[in-house]
Amino acid sequence: MQKRKLGNSGLEVSAIGLGCMGMTFSYVPFPEKKDMIVLMRQAVEQGVTFFDTAEVYGPHNNEELVGEALAPFRNKVVIATKFGFDIQDGKMVGVNSRPEHIKKAVEGSLKRLQVDVIDLLYQHRVDPNVPIEEVAGAVKDLIKEGKVKYFGLSEAGANTIRRAHTVQPVSALQSEYSMWTRQHEKEIIPTIEELGIGLVAFSPLGKGFLAGKMDETTKFGEGDIRNILPRYSEEARIANKALLDLITKFAERKNATPAQIALAWVLAQKPWIVPIPGTTKLHRLTENNGAASIELTVEELLEIEEASAHIKIMGTRYTDAMEKSTGL
């Protein structure tokens, strides 16, 4: 698989990474641990070098899973994790990016990941109670101590990114970006391009919808986050099929799958964007990774742009309460 550099930081990763959240968090029922170890190791065999986790996924057991699975490949892979929440009695109870909390969280992540240094450390969500300069300063200290290599932000706004970057260079911004989630194109993507920061695109397949594997009759398991997200209501899934139809048309033309077209579109937007689709199935892993070899021409991208401009997406990506917590 091809490699990409996340901005100007020198951090190089596979063009497509693997989001590991769904292995233990948000998308029930969860698969067997042994199967996920096999999947992650197969990802390495297929050229994936970039794996994404967080202390709140589980909480904690996702980092433990990733650490165990990737231990034999430590010198071949880049592991990203995140801090920024209080965890009490095994539950996430609110944001917390106080410097002392960040350092405590990192010590826990190092142990669970079975590593001496965290390759890429993100602030998971902006904490309105802690100036971003203090957050960046705490991570800068951790970098000086050799416990962290690169600093990232997740779902942060342009002003927050700029302020953090003046204290400690930000290597990557992780935010949702896909063919139906494009609000960052107005201000945030131009800002990180100016500053030389890479974009790590989570949910590049729209939590499965853009892969064409669900319709209005699909039932999500109890505890599946899509049960509460407006964009995945039965009505919205019917309305949003128009975008999926467009993607499917290009998939047929390119002898590809809808998932591969959706990922190829993300890859085509900028050379410093890296999507991290999540999956718990080996055949989907192979399918997703195949997107790295699909090239959409300038003409095809223009055709997609013109056609999608007439498609109105129904439903917000998050509930109002969840959107307020993103820091945008």
Q: Which two tokens stand for residue 27?
A: 């998308």
Domain segments of the chain as ranges: 3-207+267-295
pLDDT value at 324 more than 80: no
**Mean pLDDT, the chain, integer:** 95
* % of the chain beyond a pLDDT of 70: 98
CATH of domain 3-207+267-295: 3.20.20.100
pLDDT value for 26:
80
Q: What is the pLDDT of residue 323?
A: 74
Lowest mean pLDDT segment, chosen from 27-31, 194-198, 210-214:
27-31
Between the CA of residue 110 and those of 68, 187, 194, what are the distances in Å? 12, 34, 32
Model pLDDT, residue 107 = 98
Measure the CA–CA gap between 93 and 37, rounded to whole angstroms. 29
Closest by CA to 160, choosing from 84, 67, 107, is 84
The yes-or-no verdict on residue 301 having pLDDT over 80 is yes
CA distance 107 to 95: 18
Structure tokens at 59: 């909480």
- CB count within 10 Å of CB 172 equals 25
- The residue-averaged pLDDT of 112-136 equals 98
Q: Give yes or no for residue 252 having a pLDDT over 50.
A: yes
Q: Is the pLDDT of residue 328 over 60?
A: no
Cis check for the bond before 29: say yes or no (omega within 30 of 0). Answer: yes
Packing angle between helix 99-113 and helix 61-70, nearest 10 degrees? 40
User: Is 90 exceeded by the pLDDT of residue 325?
Assistant: no
Please write the tens of the pLDDT for every residue from 36-80: 999 999 999 999 999 999 999 999 999 999 999 999 999 999 999
Grouping H, G, I as helix, E, B as strand and the rest as coil, residue 17 is coil
- Give the DSSP H or E segment for 258: helix 258-269
For 81, 218, 228, 283, 317, the CA distances from 214, given in Å and listed in that order, are 29, 6, 16, 17, 16
pLDDT above 70: residue 121? yes
Q: Is the pLDDT of residue 327 over 70?
A: no
Q: Phi-psi category of 191—alpha, beta or left, where left has phi over 0 and alpha has psi -120 to 50?
A: alpha
Compute the Cα dihedral for 73, 75, 77, 83 and give only its sign. positive
Catalytic residue status for 57: yes
Supply the pLDDT for residue 36: 98
Secondary element (H or E) of residue 106: helix 99-113
pTM: 0.96
Catalytic residue among 57, 122, 177, 232: 57
pLDDT band at 326, cuts 50/70/90?
Answer: low
Q: Check whether the bond before 131 is cis (ω within 30° of 0).
A: no
Assess whether pLDDT exceeds 90 at residue 283.
yes
C-alpha atoms less than 13 angstroms from C-alpha of 288 in its C-beta half-sphere: 31
Q: Compute the distance between CA of residue 123 and CA of residue 132 in angstroms, rounded to an integer.
A: 10
Query: How many of the other CB atoms lie within 10 Å of CB of 181?
Result: 19
Q: Using one digit for the tens of pLDDT, what is the confidence trace for 139-166?
A: 999 999 999 999 999 999 999 999 999 9
Q: Give the confidence band of 322 by pLDDT, cuts at 50, 70, 90.
A: confident
The percent of residues in the chain predicted with pLDDT above 90, rounded, is: 90
Q: What is the rounded average pLDDT of the residues 24-47? A: 93
